[in-house]
Amino acid sequence: MQAVVVDRQIGRDHAVRAAARRKANPYSVVERYTQSVRKAILHARTESLDRNQSIITVADLLAGLCEQEDTRAERIGELKDNAQYLRWFAGLPLLPRPEPAPVTDEKAARCELDSEARRALAFAVMEADLDHEHWIDSDHLLRGLLRFPNRAQFAILKTELNLRTARLASFDDRDRYAPEEQPQITLMETFFQKHIRQWAPPLLSAVCYLYILLQSMGLRLIPVVR
């Protein structure tokens, strides 16, 4: 019961933070996550809290992907069938999980991604961009875990799935199954909006500086020309 209450509180906190991010930056990368990726991160947080931990690791992200059925990552890596195997190699408790430890609201609020988990999510963004996809799907997160040495990568490689085969399987899966969601704006529009927001202020400053410089040079040259 306590775990359910904490999960609901986490969901509300996540929604509040997401709304704040949307207001601050409507083109945030987080807004490109599909529901399966969001659920994987939420499951990963629960996995960490059940072990009385305050950080989300790459192993927790892998466990979060294993919790869901009929996602791209699950189909590509057969994650549901290999869940016990993957958890064992990733160093997580086997299913069924032990009785979760009591979790305080303070600890739940402080539960954050560690450096490897953030790196995996950054690689997931790169994998989505490599596919020219707007949405960052569960297969991109799976491939992000395979991009660098870590416990989750070690576990996935034991199932004879590597980065190259995962990319090929992603392409095949997209041919067979429609995407979960359709973006409201195209990838090219997102690209231009992102870079306009990034480069417009310094370019405007450079133009103003150049204008002032030319004006000062013009004022000096006018007496000479006359």
The whole domain housing 215 covers 186-226
Structural domain total, the chain? 2
Structural domain includes residue 38: yes
The answer to whether residues 170 and 211 belong to one domain is no
Alpha-carbon dihedral sign for residues 176, 181, 184, 185: negative
The answer to whether residues 37 and 119 belong to one domain is yes
The answer to whether residues 80 and 192 belong to one domain is no
3-class DSSP state of 32: helix
The answer to whether residues 49 and 143 belong to one domain is yes
The answer to whether residues 171 and 190 belong to one domain is no
3-class DSSP state of 196: helix
Cα distances from 131 to residues 113, 128, 163, 169, in angstroms, run 25, 5, 14, 12
26: CATH: 1.10.1780.10
Structural domain includes residue 111: yes
The answer to whether residues 196 and 125 belong to one domain is no
Q: Where are the beta strands (DSSP E) in the chain?
A: 55-56, 112-113
What is the value of pTM for the model shown? 0.69
The answer to whether residues 172 and 198 belong to one domain is no
User: For 178, how many CA atoms within 13 A lie in the half-sphere containing its CB?
Assistant: 4
Quote the pLDDT of residue 16: 61
Structural domain includes residue 193: yes
Structural domain includes residue 23: yes
Quote the pLDDT of residue 134: 86
The answer to whether residues 11 and 89 belong to one domain is yes
Name which of 148, 144, 106, 134 is nearest 13 in CA terms: 106
The answer to whether residues 194 and 166 belong to one domain is no
Q: For residue 80, which phi and psi values (nearest 5 degrees)?
A: -65, -45
pLDDT, one tens digit for every residue, the chain (226 residues): 444 444 555 556 655 665 555 455 545 788 889 999 999 999 999 999 988 888 999 999 999 999 999 999 999 999 999 999 999 999 998 877 666 656 556 666 678 999 999 999 999 999 999 999 889 999 999 999 999 999 999 999 999 999 999 999 999 999 998 776 555 555 556 556 656 766 777 888 888 888 787 777 765 544 544 4
Name which of 60, 75, 192 is nearest 138 in CA terms: 75
Quote the pLDDT of residue 192: 62
65: tokens are 């992907």
The answer to whether residues 118 and 193 belong to one domain is no
3-class DSSP state of 56: strand
Helices 138-145, 163-176: crossing angle, 10 deg rounding: 170
Quote the pLDDT of residue 224: 46
**Is the distance from CB of 34 to CB of 53 less than 8 angstroms?**
no
The answer to whether residues 115 and 52 belong to one domain is yes
Structural domain includes residue 181: no
The answer to whether residues 129 and 198 belong to one domain is no
